[in-house]
Amino acid sequence: MSKERGVTLRAQWLGQLLRDLREQKGFTLKDAGEYLQRTGATVSRFETGVYPIRRVDTAALLDLYGVEDPKHRDMLLQLAGELWQTGWWESYADDAWSSTIDLAWLEDRAVSLRLFAGMVVPGLLQTREYALALFSATSPDMSAHRLTRGVDLRQERQQILHRDTPPQITAVIDEAALRRTVGSNDVMAGQLRHLRQMMDLPQVEINVLPFELGAHASPEGSFALIGLAAPFSDIAHSECPGGAIYLERTGVDRLVRVYDQLRGTSLDAEKSAAFLAALEKDLS
């Protein structure tokens, strides 16, 4: 069933960058609108992401704001082009929340991903069987088509792990996520085996946060830190039943400190692999 997409993260992101440039130069919305032969209200909609700005209008505003640095201009113009381009993730737009589409877009751009999983295995490291069982439990009323499409999207997101220049992934996984049986013992054993196989990839590191360490730095739940190439700043992503939350700047800085604490108290790679192997053996 099709649904309205709404405002996308990338449109909001570019809009905020253009707003910052306008305000730094002291231009009003009316000034920018008159330069584009539009209204100030239209420029406002560009800046809030309500209406994605086109590349030609972005180029005109960069001229008005005096942005001459080639790298800066190219970065903003590339982002403007991406507002209207159709990436692989767009084929799922009718079957997934817009926040999930935004996440797939960010992951595709990422140079690093730092993940903390408190309750379930991170989506990028899930087997198909685990994802199917998880979706079935969290959305029991979902149609078979939507269920399959949701799992397909999660599987396709994982292709970033196998591209020529994959992002560096470090994942801290709480023991609770590893001991909770999702689907069946066989499904869970397969998931644990998959995690150990993923640890053989040079771009993937997994650290287990065991119960014996007691309270930890993120009792509120899971989150992801998405590292992007310069000049973009890192973004933090967190999900809850009410939807997804994206944080920048100070919010990211706080979560970086939390992540470093979690990783610093977790088991190293060798001990984590042994921990996963022991849990898998218990399920066989």
pLDDT tens-digit map of 167-210 = 999 999 999 999 999 999 999 999 999 999 999 999 999 999 99
Give the pLDDT of residue 44.
Answer: 94
Sequence-separated (6 or more) residues with CB below 8 Å from residue 72: 231
User: Does residue 85 carry a pLDDT above 80?
Assistant: no
Give the pLDDT of residue 191.
Answer: 97
Give the pLDDT of residue 86.
Answer: 64
Enumerate domains of the chain plus CATH numbers.
9-85 (1.10.260.40), 89-283 (3.30.870)
Mean pLDDT over 161-166 rounds to: 92
Where is pLDDT greater, at 284 or 215?
215
Give the pLDDT of residue 185.
Answer: 95
User: Does residue 138 carry a pLDDT above 90?
Assistant: no
Mean pLDDT over 149-161 rounds to: 92
User: Does residue 135 carry a pLDDT above 80?
Assistant: yes
User: Does residue 159 carry a pLDDT above 60?
Assistant: yes
Give the pLDDT of residue 10.
Answer: 77
The whole-model pTM stands at 0.80
Least confident of 10-14, 125-129, 136-140, 268-272: 10-14
State pLDDT tens for residues 209-258: 999 999 999 988 899 999 988 767 888 999 877 677 888 777 889 999 99
User: Does residue 6 carry a pLDDT above 60?
Assistant: no
User: Does residue 1 carry a pLDDT above 90?
Assistant: no
